């Protein structure tokens, strides 16, 4: 019996781990960082994602990632759920194109897709960060797609840079006069105090004025009054912009503001509580995690104030190994903080962090929980 014990133990361990993988698809807890199986027994493939609640169903949209590349070989995926635990794979909501030269040609980069519903038009509107095929991260565009149904198929409309020809709303005549004195050729060396001051005063806004502002990591937000906003990392990821959308949610209006100029923020996620807007972001360290940042404002147009990292506990200084992507309102003063644990060497194996947001002294705090029920 003693000689067989290691074998029996090994078999029992295999059985138990198989059982626990299957249980994770069936029980009722969220387990951040673990595999999360859909209704077909596959790890959910919806990274950098966001969630739309529509007619009692949650729709989770995200980047489909392949085993060996983060480039978009498939498109934006959609999953649906009524309990936030069990997810039905609805398939590909926005497919990549096989037409050479298409903005969304297979192999381009599509990141952080978000979908909002427009009550006036009855359309589902998807915005995402788009990098054209074989151009690295140089294009820095947003893309827009639309559908009559939440699960798609979404029709791609267009992609471009943001707000060409427009200065931020807060640029009064004094700020414009200062910007007028800034010449990009004089600031070849980055990260010097002079360069920081120039970026804060709009050096890169001016550089990109004609062709439009860069638009990378992004989210969408619909306010209580139905106005929708596109929030994105601009100015070479140095400054966040918040741009008001047109009433059909398919274009930028002319109005936008800057948040934390030269602050180097990515991965914006936003919610509103008791009249205060809270935004959680990350620093810019590629796929590697860093400490989350947090800002608040009494109005979406600012002024925005920075607060300490809202994460608490082990690995809080690395956002528990993740990077923010979305904040899901549950109602009754409850929100879920959603983040991605990237796996750049095996992109499809990237994991999800979903944690409840608590409030201490009326400020959001996020604590790690191995498992919890939403
Ligand atoms: C961090 C961003 O947040 C991600 O969406 C992705 O663009 C990576 N950088 C690429 O390095």
pLDDT tens for each residue of 131-148:
999 999 999 999 999 999
pLDDT of 199 over the 70 cut: yes
Is 218 contained in some domain? no
Ligand 1, residue 137: give the atom nearest the CA: 7
Domain count, the chain: 1
Is 217 touching ligand 1 by the criterion CB < 6 Å?
yes
Domain residues for 83?
Answer: 45-160
pLDDT at position 27 is 79
Asked if residue 307 is part of any domain, the answer here is no
Asked whether residue 265 is assigned to any structural domain, the reply reads: no
What's the whole-number mean pLDDT along residues 232-244?
98
Confidence category of residue 9, pLDDT binned at 50, 70, 90: low
290 ligand 1 Cβ < 6 A: no
Residue 182 Cβ < 6 Å to ligand 1: no
Question: What pLDDT score was predicted for residue 320?
Answer: 98
For the chain, give the mean pLDDT: 94
**Is the shortest distance between the CB of 323 and ligand 1 below 6 Å?**
yes
Residue 98 within any structural domain of the chain? yes
Supply the CATH number for residue 87's domain: 2.115.10.20
209 domain residue, yes or no: no
pLDDT digits (tens, 9 = 90+) for 43-54: 999 999 999 999
pLDDT at 230: 99
Euclidean distance between CA atoms 371 and 304, whole angstroms: 33
267 CB within 6 A, ligand 1: yes
Q: Whose CA is nearest to atom 3 of ligand 1?
A: 267
pTM of the model: 0.92
Cβ(286) to ligand 1 under 6 A? yes
Q: Confirm if 157 and 246 have CB atoms less than 8 A apart.
A: no
Residue bearing the CA closest to ligand 1, atom 1 = 286
For residue 91, being part of any structural domain is answered with yes
User: Closest Cα partner for 45 from 321, 320, 340?
Assistant: 340
pLDDT tens digits, residue range 149-197? 999 999 999 999 999 999 999 999 999 999 999 999 999 999 999 999 9
Tell me the helix, strand and coil percentages in the chain, rounded to 5: 15, 40, 45
Give 262 Cα–ligand 1 centroid separation in angstroms: 18
Two tokens at 8? Answer: 């029996």
For residue 113, being part of any structural domain is answered with yes
């Amino acid at each position: 019996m003693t000689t067989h014990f290691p074998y029996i133990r090994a078999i029992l361990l295999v059985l138990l781990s198989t059982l626990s993988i299957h249980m994770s698809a069936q029980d009722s807890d969220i387990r951040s960082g673990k595999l999360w199986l859909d209704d077909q027994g596959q790890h959910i493939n919806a990274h950098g994602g966001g969630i739309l609640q529509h007619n009692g169903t949650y729709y989770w949209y995200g980047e489909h990632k392949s085993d060996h590349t983060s480039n978009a070989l498939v498109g934006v995926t959609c999953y649906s759920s009524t309990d936030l635990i069990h997810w039905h794979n609805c398939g590909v909501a926005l497919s990549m194109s096989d037409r050479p030269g298409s903005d969304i040609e297979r192999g381009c980069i599509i990141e952080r897709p978000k979908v909002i519903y427009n009550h006036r038009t009855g359309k589902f509107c998807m915005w995402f960060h788009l990098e054209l095929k074989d151009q690295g991260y140089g294009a820095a565009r947003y893309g827009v797609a639309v559908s009559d149904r939440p699960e798609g198929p979404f029709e791609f409309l267009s992609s471009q840079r943001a707000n060409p020809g427009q200065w931020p709303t807060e640029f009064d005549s004094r700020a414009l006069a200062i910007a007028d004195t800034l010449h990009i050729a004089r600031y070849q060396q980055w990260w010097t105090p002079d360069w920081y001051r120039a970026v804060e005063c709009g050096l890169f806004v001016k550089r990109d004025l004609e062709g439009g502002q860069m638009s990378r990591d992004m989210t969408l937000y619909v306010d209580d009054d139905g106005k929708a906003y596109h929030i994105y990392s601009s100015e070479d990821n140095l400054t966040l912009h918040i741009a008001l959308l047109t009433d059909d949610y398919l274009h930028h209006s002319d109005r936008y503001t800057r948040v934390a100029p030269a602050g180097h923020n990515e991965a914006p996620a936003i919610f509103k509580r008791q009249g205060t807007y809270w935004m959680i972001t990350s620093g810019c360290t590629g796929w590697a995690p860093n400490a989350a940042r947090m800002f608040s404002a009494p109005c979406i147009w600012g002024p925005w104030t920075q607060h300490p990292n809202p994460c608490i506990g082990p690995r809080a200084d690395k956002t528990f190994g993740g990077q923010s992507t979305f904040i899901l309102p549950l109602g009754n003063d409850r929100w879920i903080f959603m983040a991605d644990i990237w796996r750049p060497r095996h992109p499809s194996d990237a994991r999800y962090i979903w944690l409840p947001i608590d409030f201490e002294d009326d400020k959001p705090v996020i604590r790690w929980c191995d498992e919890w029920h939403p």
